[in-house]
Amino acid sequence: MAGSGTRRIQWSRRLSLAAACLAAVLVLACLASAFILPPSASSAGPPAALVPAHAPAAAPRPTRRALLHFCTSAQCQQEGQRLNSSIARNQNPCRDPYRYACGHTAHSQVTDLRRGDERRLSALLSSTVVPRNRQTVAEKAAALYQGCLKTELLTAQSRDAWWSVAQRLGVSQFPLPLDKEPPVAPEQLAGHLLRHLGLGPLIGLRLAAPPGNRSAVAIYVHPPPAAASWRWNETASGLQALTQRSPEGQLVRALVDLDRTVARIAAKATPPVATYVPRYHTVRIFSLPQHAKWRWREVFSVLLEDLAAPQTVSLVLTAPGYVEEAAPLLADARPAAVHNYLAWRLALELAPLLPVLPASVALGGVQQRPERRCLRELRALMEHAATALLAPQPGPQGRSAARDVLASATDQLKRQLVDYMWIAEPVSQRAVQKLNALQAHLLYPPFVEDKMVLEQIYRQVPDIGGDSPVLLDWFRARSAVMLKRWKALAGKGLPPLWDVPYMEPAVHYLADSNELGAFHDESGALSFWWERSSFVRLRHAEHCLARHHAADPAEAVLDQVALQAAYALYKQRQQGSAGLRLAALPNASADQLFALAFATGMCAEGDERPRARDRVNLALREWAPFRQAFGCPEERHPCGLR
């Protein structure tokens, strides 16, 4: 009996404790609901969480304020005021997230953040004389490089300001002022670019299809014609400066000597062109990896070795990597577009060797940090400008056609490497291995250099898909750049949510890498580095987006992936907390603020941009955290990546 009485007392105490805990939970819930008002899932209008800043509200108690984690810094206050003035509360965020977030925006919010940097840069470069009609790439690069050295380009807004000022300097005409020049045939465009770089007298260059492979593109490097203008006095000083700074110093000196020798021979030849008639044609093939420096030492060494012989020999640089890279830039897979892109690519790779850079810059050795950073910024600026100038935006059909053409060209090149009798077997095998490595390399995101880095990304990126994530392989690879930027911000103690310029890459991602997820191994077999299910579901999502939303599938998928990457890292930084709140929007949840920061990064200046509106609406309405945060119903035709 005593035992049963003791058990009754114990159970009574347990029930009392449970009742007390339940009461405490209910009290806390009531307190929380009194302060945090999540939007109703059944509400068809704007969420009640976003209350105007001027609306009267009871001052929260100090203890409750601590629970909400209000951000009181000047940056958060400015961001809260910006969001508060941008939101159109008469719009339904579930139906039109863009108009809800940007409805009261009469100007670009990002432009406001950059305006101060633009004024400072304009003052620094105001003394630069810009001859817009006959300005060379070298002159433009010199002006921008000097402007970079005088400016602390440590933030995204400074970089964008630099680009804006550069456009006013005429850099939007990179790499050629095509509106000032007569039309240039595609096969002559590469040499035209070299002349603008000031390197025309060094080498002759043309683009054409290699023998027996009309679908590929080759870069032919050979001695310039005797009729070329040998302006040695104009180039000698630049070549000497280039010799002193280049890591290929001995090679450049040899190239200078070669130029002198060819100039003397050209002056004595009768007729001059007779010296340059090739007696036979030898072809050397180089596979050039994407997103890596061209191996000019190897290329020029072979060129010099061959030219030392009595006969004239042409050199072929097959660049399947750059042809493949050009695939997203082709509207209809026309050869002219490939020629344009390859010609610009060659000019871009030669740009760091221009004699316009200060003598203190050692391109292959120790560099000062600002100089190294400015070289990197200059390269990025050239790439941005040239891509915008030369390449139209493709549609899905053009991208698919280009992919088919390039796949066929790559296979033909492999067969040529194996079948051609004039290539020794060890050389052929090595070339095939390089080509296979190149194909594998093309599957990586733009700034990922090797497989080891890719594997590190696999380990570091959080698992956002639960036990069976869809497209996790692709997500981890494609989001590497943005994750790196966000982690850099987090390392500086900056909250990425409130940094709009760093939010912008999430919606301005470019489709610039291979999406097939497969490559041929050394035996020629097709090998997938994705999971097969990921590949199939990606194709399903692309077809769904094109069919139900009339959207560019590649762009829409990239927007969603970038948004998921940013959100995954943001949640990781929260570490289980409710996240920061803004005093100007006290009832807005952290997830609502995140979605608003994403959308307002695309707010248009003046009239709304239909393309920006479509991209924001499609990305957010397909995104589950947004629907949950704003209480939105499920999409009628979901095409998400999960």
State the pTM of this model.
0.35
Residue 77 lies in a domain: yes
Task: Answer whether residue 597 shows pLDDT above 70.
Answer: yes
- The reported pLDDT for the residue numbered 425 is 53
- The reported pLDDT for the residue numbered 582 is 80
Q: Given the DSSP bridges, would you call strands 70-71 and 315-318 parallel, antiparallel or unpaired?
A: unpaired
Task: Answer whether residue 557 shows pLDDT above 60.
Answer: yes
Q: How many helices (H) and strands (E) does the chain have?
A: 25, 7
Task: Answer whether residue 208 shows pLDDT above 50.
Answer: yes
Question: Residue 316: pLDDT band by 50, 70, 90 thresholds?
Answer: very low
Residues 360 and 453 in one domain: no
CA atoms within 13 A on the CB side of 382: 29
- The reported pLDDT for the residue numbered 623 is 82
Task: Answer whether residue 51 shows pLDDT above 50.
Answer: no
539 vs 10: which has the higher pLDDT: 539
Ramachandran angles phi, psi of 308, nearest 5°: -70, -20
Q: What 3-state class would DSSP assign to 71? A: strand
Q: Which of 104-113, 561-570, 633-642 has the highest mean pLDDT?
A: 633-642
Give the integer Cα–Cα distance in Å for 253 and 244: 9
Neighbours of 224 (CB within 10 A): 20
> Distances from the Cα of 274 to the Cαs of 139, 210, 224, 269, 313, in angstroms?
36, 24, 13, 7, 14
Question: Residue 57: pLDDT band by 50, 70, 90 thresholds?
Answer: very low
Residue 395 lies in a domain: yes
- The reported pLDDT for the residue numbered 344 is 45
Task: Answer whether residue 308 shows pLDDT above 60.
Answer: no
Task: Answer whether residue 561 shows pLDDT above 60.
Answer: yes
Residues 383 and 514 in one domain: no
Task: Answer whether residue 122 shows pLDDT above 80.
Answer: no
Residue 411 lies in a domain: yes
* CATH (domain of 71): 3.40.390
272 vs 261: which has the higher pLDDT: 261
- What's the rounded mean pLDDT across residues 38-54? 39
- The reported pLDDT for the residue numbered 596 is 83
Give the integer Cα–Cα distance in Å for 194 and 203: 9
- What's the rounded mean pLDDT across residues 323-347? 41
- What's the rounded mean pLDDT across residues 552-557? 65
Question: Residue 541: pLDDT band by 50, 70, 90 thresholds?
Answer: confident
Task: Answer whether residue 278 shows pLDDT above 50.
Answer: no
Separation of CA 454 from chain center: 16
> Distances from the Cα of 215 to the Cαs of 38, 100, 289, 405, 409, in angstroms?
59, 49, 19, 7, 5
Task: Answer whether residue 97 shows pLDDT above 60.
Answer: yes
Neighbours of 78 (CB within 10 A): 14
Give the integer Cα–Cα distance in Å for 375 and 470: 39
Task: Answer whether residue 202 shows pLDDT above 50.
Answer: no
- The reported pLDDT for the residue numbered 76 is 73
Q: To the nearest 10°, the Cα dihedral for 99, 104, 106, 107?
A: -70
H helix or E strand, kind and range, residue 527: strand 526-528
- The reported pLDDT for the residue numbered 307 is 36
Residues 394 and 500 in one domain: no
DSSP string, 549-575: H---HHHHHHHHHHHHHHHHHHHHHHT
Residues 397 and 467 in one domain: no
156 vs 163: which has the higher pLDDT: 163
Residues 293 and 407 in one domain: yes
Task: Answer whether residue 399 shows pLDDT above 70.
Answer: no
Angle formed by the axes of helices 249-268 and 232-245, nearest 10°: 160
Question: Residue 372: pLDDT band by 50, 70, 90 thresholds?
Answer: low
Token pair in block for residue 542: 């692309």
Residues 411 and 451 in one domain: no
- The reported pLDDT for the residue numbered 101 is 86
- What's the rounded mean pLDDT across residues 202-221? 49
Task: Label each residue of 203-227 as H, E or C.
Answer: CEEEEECCCCCCCCCEEEEECCCCC
Residue 132 lies in a domain: no
Angle formed by the axes of helices 590-600 and 610-621, nearest 10°: 150
Residue 344 lies in a domain: yes
Task: Answer whether residue 594 shows pLDDT above 70.
Answer: yes
Q: Which of 65-74, 266-275, 338-347 has the highest mean pLDDT?
A: 65-74
Of 366, 399, 417, which residue constitutes the final position of a domain? 417
Token pair in block for residue 4: 């049963």
Task: Answer whether residue 298 shows pLDDT above 50.
Answer: no
- The reported pLDDT for the residue numbered 339 is 44
Task: Answer whether residue 624 shows pLDDT above 70.
Answer: yes
Per-residue pLDDT reduced to its tens digit, 564-577 = 666 766 676 666 66
Share the mean pLDDT of the chain.
49
Q: Scan for tokens 């006969």, then name that residue.
A: 311
Q: What 3-state class would DSSP assign to 428? A: helix
- The reported pLDDT for the residue numbered 89 is 83
**How many structural domains does the chain have?**
2
What type of residue is 316?
V
Residue 305 lies in a domain: yes
Question: Residue 80: pLDDT band by 50, 70, 90 thresholds?
Answer: confident
Give the integer Cα–Cα distance in Å for 192 and 170: 18
Report the alpha-carbon angle 79-84-89, nearest 5: 150
Residues 277 and 392 in one domain: yes
Alpha helix locations (H) across 358-450?
369-390, 396-419, 425-442
Give the integer Cα–Cα distance in Å for 194 and 188: 10
Residues 403 and 543 in one domain: no
Residues 357, 204: contact at Cβ < 8 Å? no
Residues 334 and 405 in one domain: yes
The residue range of the domain holding 345 is 171-417
- The reported pLDDT for the residue numbered 635 is 72
Lowest-confidence segment of 92-106, 462-476, 584-598 by average pLDDT: 462-476
Q: What 3-state class would DSSP assign to 291? A: coil
Residue 116 lies in a domain: no
Residues 337 and 482 in one domain: no
510 vs 402: which has the higher pLDDT: 402
- The reported pLDDT for the residue numbered 543 is 74
- What's the rounded mean pLDDT across residues 162-187? 48
Question: Residue 181: pLDDT band by 50, 70, 90 thresholds?
Answer: very low
- The reported pLDDT for the residue numbered 158 is 53
Q: What 3-state class would DSSP assign to 317? A: strand
- The reported pLDDT for the residue numbered 82 is 77
H helix or E strand, kind and range, residue 581: strand 581-582
- The reported pLDDT for the residue numbered 211 is 55
Task: Answer whether residue 156 shows pLDDT above 60.
Answer: no
Token pair in block for residue 560: 């969603």
DSSP string, 231-253: -HHHHHHHHHHHHHH-TTHHHHH
Q: To the nearest 10°, the Cα dihedral for 20, 22, 27, 28?
A: 110
- The reported pLDDT for the residue numbered 612 is 72
Give the integer Cα–Cα distance in Å for 607 and 613: 11
C-alpha R_g of the chain: 30
Residues 101 and 182 in one domain: no
Residue 178 lies in a domain: yes
- The reported pLDDT for the residue numbered 532 is 60
Report the alpha-carbon angle 25-31-34, nearest 5: 140
Question: Residue 369: pLDDT band by 50, 70, 90 thresholds?
Answer: low
What type of residue is 59?
A
Residues 394 and 451 in one domain: no
- The reported pLDDT for the residue numbered 588 is 84
CA atoms within 13 A on the CB side of 205: 23
- What's the rounded mean pLDDT across residues 211-222? 49
* Residue 222, strand partner residues: 204
- The reported pLDDT for the residue numbered 83 is 81
- The reported pLDDT for the residue numbered 590 is 81
